[in-house]
């Protein structure tokens, strides 16, 4: 459930004003956005040279999936404006950003204020140079939902606790009997499932032999598989049967991401993975 949808417009507006006031300068806003964009899943986020006044403020990429990861990588040129709420982003600012975007790249404009209608239209009117616009309201709602800079009064939920205990039922006995084992937690994502792959945590990958083509994998102390190791991309191939047998992928193509805990059993040369359902 998204907490931000439970708030009234005047509450969101108050949070916008507080967020704007928090950043003393445009530079501090850029520093925040660097961490924010990483949290949102972008890679290689960097702040550009601050002497480039009027140019882009940050750059980032969103990596593709599977064998198409290089072809499918999206590059972003990002403009950041710490503006008061009554200072709207005009269409000229969008055009200036578009003027810096190379062919095949995308723009992103993030502000603490709002955009004029003309600016929003200009952002999407050229498919070759689209600009993603994120205004102060959208930024605040995103921060609320991802618990970035916002605290909440806790409420005890028996249902939530029941779900938590049920989720860990399959893995707790193993963990309790192997307290010395350090598990690596990761999400088996929608992108992985669409590409019929499973990304390998780097701490697991580095334990394989350099020329090892495949590895035994045990799921939930139940089923055993042998997965191909795709080096360079760091993922398991040949996983479609596993995805379907453990309900991450249905025959109709429905995708169901799951949390997982990993460790490498060196003695038996086996990767052990424990799956957990995602809570609603």
User: pLDDT tens digit string along 66-118?
Assistant: 545 566 788 999 999 999 999 999 999 999 999 999 888 999 999 999 999 99
- Give the number of domains in the chain: 2
**CA-closest candidate to residue 188, choices 149, 161, 217, 146:** 217
Q: How confident is the model at residue 153 (pLDDT cuts 50, 70, 90)?
A: low
Residue 154 is assigned to a structural domain of this protein? no
Domain containing residue 81: CATH number: 3.40.1350.10
- Let me know whether 68 and 116 are in one domain: yes
List, for residues 250-264, the tens digit of each pLDDT value.
988 899 999 999 999
Does 137 fall in a domain?
Answer: yes
CA–CA distance, 60 with 257 (Å, rounded to integer)? 25
Q: Is the pLDDT of residue 122 over 60?
A: yes
Could you give the CA distance from residue 234 to residue 68 in angstroms, rounded to a whole number?
Answer: 14
Closest CA to 135 of 147, 146, 123: 123
Query: Quick check: pTM over 0.75?
Result: no
167 pLDDT higher than 80: no
* Claim to verify: residue 21 and residue 137 sit in the same structural domain: yes
Question: In terms of domains, do 10 and 125 share one?
Answer: yes
Whether residues 89 and 119 fall in one domain: yes
Q: Are residues 129 and 180 in the same domain?
A: no
Alpha-carbon distances, residue 35 vs 3, 29, 31, 61, 143 (angstroms): 21, 10, 7, 14, 12
Are 22 and 90 in the same domain? yes
pLDDT for position 65: 63
pLDDT band at 150 (very low <50, low <70, confident <90, very high): confident
* 213 in any annotated domain: yes
Find the domain containing 35 and state its range: 3-145
Residue 255 belongs to a domain = yes
Pair (91, 190) in one structural domain? no
Instruction: Decide if 200 is inside a domain.
Output: yes
Close Cβ partners of 160 (under 8 Å, ≥ 6 residues apart): 279
Together in a domain, 121 and 34:
yes
234 in any annotated domain: yes
């Amino acid at each position: 459930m998204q907490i931000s949808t439970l708030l009234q417009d005047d509450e969101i507006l108050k949070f916008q004003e507080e967020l704007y006031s928090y950043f003393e300068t445009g530079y501090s806003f850029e520093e925040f956005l660097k961490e924010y964009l990483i949290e949102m899943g972008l890679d290689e986020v960097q702040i550009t040279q601050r002497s480039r006044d009027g140019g882009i403020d940050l750059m980032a990429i969103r990596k593709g999936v599977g064998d198409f990861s290089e072809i499918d990588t999206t590059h972003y040129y990002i403009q950041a404006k710490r503006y008061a709420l009554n200072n709207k982003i005009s269409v000229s600012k969008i055009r200036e950003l578009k003027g810096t975007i190379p062919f095949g790249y995308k723009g992103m404009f993030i502000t603490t204020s709002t955009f004029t209608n003309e600016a929003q239209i200009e952002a999407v009117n050229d498919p070759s140079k689209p600009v993603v616009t994120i205004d102060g309201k959208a930024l605040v709602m995103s921060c609320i939902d991802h618990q970035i800079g916002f605290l909440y009064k806790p409420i005890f939920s028996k249902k939530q606790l029941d779900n938590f205990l049920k989720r860990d039922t399959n893995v707790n006995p193993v963990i309790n009997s192997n307290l010395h084992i350090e598990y690596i937690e990761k999400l088996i994502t929608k992108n992985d499932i669409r590409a019929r792959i499973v990304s390998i945590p780097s701490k697991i990958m580095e334990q394989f032999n350099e020329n090892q083509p495949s590895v035994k994998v045990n799921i939930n102390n139940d089923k055993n598989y042998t997965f191909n190791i795709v080096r360079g991309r760091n993922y398991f191939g040949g996983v479609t049967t596993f995805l379907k047998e453990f309900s991450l992928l249905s025959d109709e193509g429905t995708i169901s991401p799951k949390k997982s805990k990993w460790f490498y059993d060196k003695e038996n040369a086996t990767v052990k993975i424990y799956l957990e359902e995602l809570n609603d």
